Amino acid sequence: MYSTNNFGKTVSEIRIENPSVVKKEIMASLAQQLSALRWSPLPSTSSSRPTTAHNRRTRTLLPVVCSVALSNAQNRERVKLKELFEQAYERCRTAPMEGVSFTVDQFTEALEKYDFDSEVGTKIKGTVFAVDASGAYVDVTAKSTAYLPLQEACIHRIKHVQAAGIVPGLREEFVVIGENEVDDGLILSLKAIEFDLAWERCRQLQAEDAVVKGKIVNGNKGGLVAEVEGLKGFVPFSQISSKLSGEELLEKELPLKFMEVDEEQSRLILSHRKAAADSQGQLGIGSVVTGTVQSLKPYGAFVDIGGISGLLHVSQISHDRITDIASVLQPGDILKVMILSHDRERGRVSLSTKKLEPTPGDMIRNPKLVFEKAEEMAQTFRQRIAQAEAMARADMLRFQPEVS
């Protein structure tokens, strides 16, 4: 009888009594040895042992046996995975929260922190993480990145978002103004929030009857357009107290007061006349103020003194005769002038630099000295005025008839 201990012997050395039994025993022996990964390597083609019929049959059987062994290993792995899955399914069905470190309520609460209303007009918090030439990318903990366009970054016109202080790392409150149809990302705005704050600020200033500075940026037949607190307001010509034309006032700043502030109707009506009246009330004869030359005329120069346009007549520039004003003054020159007269009803202010000259002609030869000595010379002028008024009162009392 053939024994498995005879494996390794050549076919000629084996006594075969029953070929079918021998075949089964050979396959069983091979499977046992392959499963333990202990079989000897196949002899190389360079072996000196000649190829026999036994070698050829053995090589034919090895792939079949290896395939059977691998298939059995895969089946065992599948069975193991199936058992793990069934165990996990059973745990989820009978004890779903077993081994979980938080409750369902805690999980729901955590989700609500990141759940926000993305409707237009909703305010949300976000963090800028990148910027480009067209705007900024904002993380709002949504499924898609939100975007802040350049034109929505600031109430003023800017060329890049960095000019408005928008840089990576900035955390700010934004308002949703739309949605990107491509990736459902939100479109955000800071300008809308700044507009709301600007209207609120204007309402406060109107309630305080405050005077504000406004830059004239445009004009039409009815008046001028001024920019105040980032908003565009209208100044009717009837509310402008200046001798300058609308074109001459462009790009200049004027003191203004609020006449009407209506956010719903987007109406912002301003008055230069009211602001000028307040400033004029502070002007006293003989006081020295700093002004800017606005324009030159053949008869003198118009000087802006805090939003009020005063006339520096050619005869009040210097004690010396001046034939060409442009040889002494130019538009944009900053100078000190003295209030010579003030007609509040007509809104006219007369100015003088001649009264500030230490010696006649200094305004032509050495204007810097005139400005340095301006307060001193004005004080002397006021003293002379006070003495003249005192003498006038004394004369009135002297000639006043006695009461019997």
Confidence check: pLDDT of 180 > 80: yes
What is the 3 state secondary structure string of 243-257?
Answer: CCCHHHHCCCEEEEE
Confidence check: pLDDT of 6 > 50: no
Instruction: State residue 114's pLDDT score.
Output: 58
Domains 123-194 and 283-388 belong to one CATH topology: yes
List the domain boundaries for the chain.
123-194, 209-277, 283-388
Confidence check: pLDDT of 37 > 50: no
- The residue that leads in pLDDT, 77 or 117, is 77
The alpha carbon dihedral of 75, 78, 83, 86 has a sign of negative
Residue 43: pLDDT band with limits 50, 70, 90: very low
Confidence check: pLDDT of 42 > 50: no
Instruction: State residue 305's pLDDT score.
Output: 81
- The residue that leads in pLDDT, 20 or 282, is 282
Instruction: State residue 285's pLDDT score.
Output: 79
Confidence check: pLDDT of 289 > 60: yes
Quickly count: other Cβ atoms within 10 Å of residue 312's Cβ.
26
CATH 2.40.50.140 describes domain 283-388: yes
What integer is the mean pLDDT of 175-180? 90
- Mean pLDDT lowest for which of 9-13, 170-174, 344-348? 9-13
Instruction: State residue 379's pLDDT score.
Output: 84
Instruction: State residue 79's pLDDT score.
Output: 84
Instruction: State residue 10's pLDDT score.
Output: 42
Report pLDDT digits (tens) over 234-278.
999 888 877 677 888 888 888 899 999 999 999 999 998 888 776
Query: 185 near 136, Cβ under 8 Å?
Result: no
What integer is the mean pLDDT of 32-50? 47
What integer is the mean pLDDT of 208-229? 90
- Mean pLDDT lowest for which of 60-69, 162-171, 378-387? 60-69
Residue 401: pLDDT band with limits 50, 70, 90: low
Report pLDDT digits (tens) over 48-103.
455 555 555 555 555 555 566 667 777 888 888 888 888 888 877 787 777 677 77
pLDDT winner (highest mean) among 91-95, 134-138, 290-294, 302-306: 134-138
Residue 282: pLDDT band with limits 50, 70, 90: low
Instruction: State residue 15's pLDDT score.
Output: 44
Distance CA 297, CA 335 (A): 17
Confidence check: pLDDT of 222 > 70: yes
- By C-alpha distance, which of 270, 251, 239, 213 is closest to 347? 239
CATH architecture of 209-277: Beta Barrel (2.40)
Confidence check: pLDDT of 47 > 50: no
Summary mean pLDDT of the chain: 79
Residue 46: pLDDT band with limits 50, 70, 90: very low
- By C-alpha distance, which of 279, 387, 271, 389 is closest to 342? 279
Residue whose structure tokens are 């007509």:
346
Q: Could you say which of 3.40.50.1100, 2.40.50.140, 2.70.180.20, 1.10.3470.10 is the CATH number of the domain covering 123-194? A: 2.40.50.140
Indicate the pTM of the whole model: 0.49
Structure token pair of residue 215: 């830059």
What is the 3 state secondary structure string of the chain?
Answer: CCCHHHECECHHHCCCCCHHHHHHHHHHHHHHHHHCCCCCCCCCCCCCCCCCHHHHHHHHHHHHHHHHHHHHHHHHHHHHHHHHHHHHHHHHHHCCCCCCCCCHHHHHHHHHHCCCCCCCCCEEEEEEEEEECCEEEEECCCCCCEEEEHHHCCCCCCCCHHHHCCCCCCEEEEEEEEECCCCCCEEEECHHHHHHHHHHHHHHHHHCCCCEEEEEEEECCCEEEEEECCEEEEEEHHHCCCCCCHHHHCCCEEEEEEEEEECCCCEEEEEHHHHHHHHHHCCCCCCEEEEEEEEEECCEEEEEECCEEEEEEHHHCCCCCCCCHHHCCCCCCEEEEEEEEEECCCCEEEEECHHHCCCCCHHHHCHHHHHHCHHHHHHHHHHHHHHHHHHHHHHHHHCCCCCC
- Mean pLDDT lowest for which of 3-17, 201-215, 319-333, 334-348? 3-17
Percent of residues, the chain, with pLDDT higher than 90 = 30
